[in-house]
Amino acid sequence: MDEINFEGFLPQSTFAYVGAYTTEPYKGHGGGLGVFQIDHASGEWKQIQVLKESADPSFLTISKSGVVYAVHEGLAEVSGYKIDPATGQLALLNTESTGGSTPASLSLDPSGRFVIVANYMDGTVAVLPVQEDGKLGPLTQLVTLEGHPGPDPVEQTQSHPHYVVFDPSGQFVIVPDKGFDRVFIFSFDPQTGQLTPAPTPFVTVQAGSGPRHLAFHPGGNYAYLINELSSTITVFVYNRAGPVFTHLQTVCMLPINFRGTNTAAEIAVDSSGRFVYGSNRGHDSIVVYEVDQGSGYISPVQWQAVGGSGPRFFMLDKTDGLLYAANQYSDNITIFAVDRLNGTLADTGRVIRYGSPVCLVEWQKSV
């Protein structure tokens, strides 16, 4: 565990927690789950801890009570780490099995009482309870996704759930399935954590799209689905009463003159609902879209090079003033300033070196 002293840090600090691939099956050479403190004055990131014993801590989520949860893809496990409020450092609480293979994503329910995990390689969704001390309890439910493989002979041979997200009401769990070209919808019982298929249990997208991640408009009436294989974004009108996703628009994520290979990765909506962001791996860019507030349609306004290779993940900070891009293949995190008027990005020139970064979460310490 690598540490530095805390002398000279501001009394109110923001910490970034970085998940990374560490093992050969994922071509990972990261150090483990990393902890950085962000200096508010300079914007500098200072590494204060690396949990080297943590294998492939890839996708992360964080609770309001200050616990970071990480899936370990190669181990089919999920772990909880308690944040020390004085230093921001992490201490392992416990680890539980996800009941499946290659957990790729996880999400906390709004109450923080349950963790939902997408097991990518065996097409299942797992439910684990969270105890009062933040520790994970053993698996309580494992749902098998059903459908038909898409046309891609390599990437769509079976179900591949790639993401788990709660709708804005917290009553439904949404699971994009890259292998089945479906977005599954589950009703969520907040008392037991159990998932049951919603009245409309899924929506189908164009064959070969490969749905990956989904983000909701802050108003709750639109949803934006990023499709990994087709490098497109599908815009849905979302009706929570169903719940029902109704197709509104599908747009390409690439400039018309791009002729290389590309896969899409992450998607996010800013807190105003005026801009949508998506990452391209191959073109190695963040594409910025403006949202028409009357119709919901999106149109591209910028392609910003990420200054690295393979932006598997990116994150807007809590102010929407900065965007952090985690470039898995070039071992760096690059930082961009966001123009709040038009949503465009400008390279700050700040680069954080870190092996195989694949996910970021942020936590702020109060004075």
The pLDDT tens digits of the residues spanning 266-314 come to 999 999 999 999 999 999 999 999 999 999 999 999 999 999 999 999 9
Sheet holding 244-252, edge to edge: 211-216, 222-227, 232-239, 244-252
Quickly list H helices, the chain.
none
Q: Tell me, what's the pLDDT at 171?
A: 97
Residue 41's pLDDT band (cuts 50, 70, 90): confident
Which CATH number is associated with domain 253-367? 2.130.10.10
Residue 225 or 366, more confident: 225
Residue 137's nearest CA partner among 118, 117, 114, 120 is 114
Q: Tell me, what's the pLDDT at 46?
A: 95
Q: Tell me, what's the pLDDT at 366?
A: 62
Contacts of 47 (CB under 8 A, 6+ apart): 2, 4, 34, 35, 36, 354
pLDDT in tens, 87-146: 999 999 999 999 999 999 999 999 999 999 999 999 999 999 999 999 999 999 999 999
Q: Tell me, what's the pLDDT at 29?
A: 87
With a cut of 50, say whether residue 8 has pLDDT above it.
Answer: no
Average pLDDT value for residue range 216-236: 97
Residue 25's pLDDT band (cuts 50, 70, 90): confident
Of the listed ranges 41-45, 49-53, 321-325, the one predicted with least confidence: 41-45
Average pLDDT value for residue range 196-203: 97
Average pLDDT value for residue range 150-179: 98
CA 256 to the chain's CA centroid: 27
Q: Indicate the average pLDDT of the chain.
A: 94
pTM over 0.75: yes
Q: Tell me, what's the pLDDT at 365?
A: 73
Instruction: In whole angstroms, give the CA distance from residue 68 to residue 70.
Output: 7
With a cut of 60, say whether residue 323 has pLDDT above it.
Answer: yes
What is the greatest pairwise CA distance in the chain? 57
Average pLDDT value for residue range 65-90: 96
Residue 364's pLDDT band (cuts 50, 70, 90): confident
With a cut of 70, say whether residue 6 has pLDDT above it.
Answer: no
Q: Which residues of 120-142 are buried (b: 16+ CB within 10 A; e: fewer)?
A: bbbbbbbbbbbeeebbbbebebb
In this structure, which amino acid lies at residue 162?
A: H
With a cut of 80, say whether residue 210 has pLDDT above it.
Answer: yes
Of the listed ranges 3-7, 230-234, 346-350, the one predicted with least confidence: 3-7
With a cut of 80, say whether residue 345 has pLDDT above it.
Answer: yes
Q: Tell me, what's the pLDDT at 5?
A: 40
Kindly list the domain boundaries of the chain, sorted by start residue: 253-367
* Percent of the chain with pLDDT strictly greater than 70: 96
Average pLDDT value for residue range 345-355: 97
Residue 52 or 329, more confident: 329
Instruction: In whole angstroms, give the CA distance from residue 236 to residue 220.
Output: 11
Average pLDDT value for residue range 6-30: 78
Q: Tell me, what's the pLDDT at 12?
A: 63
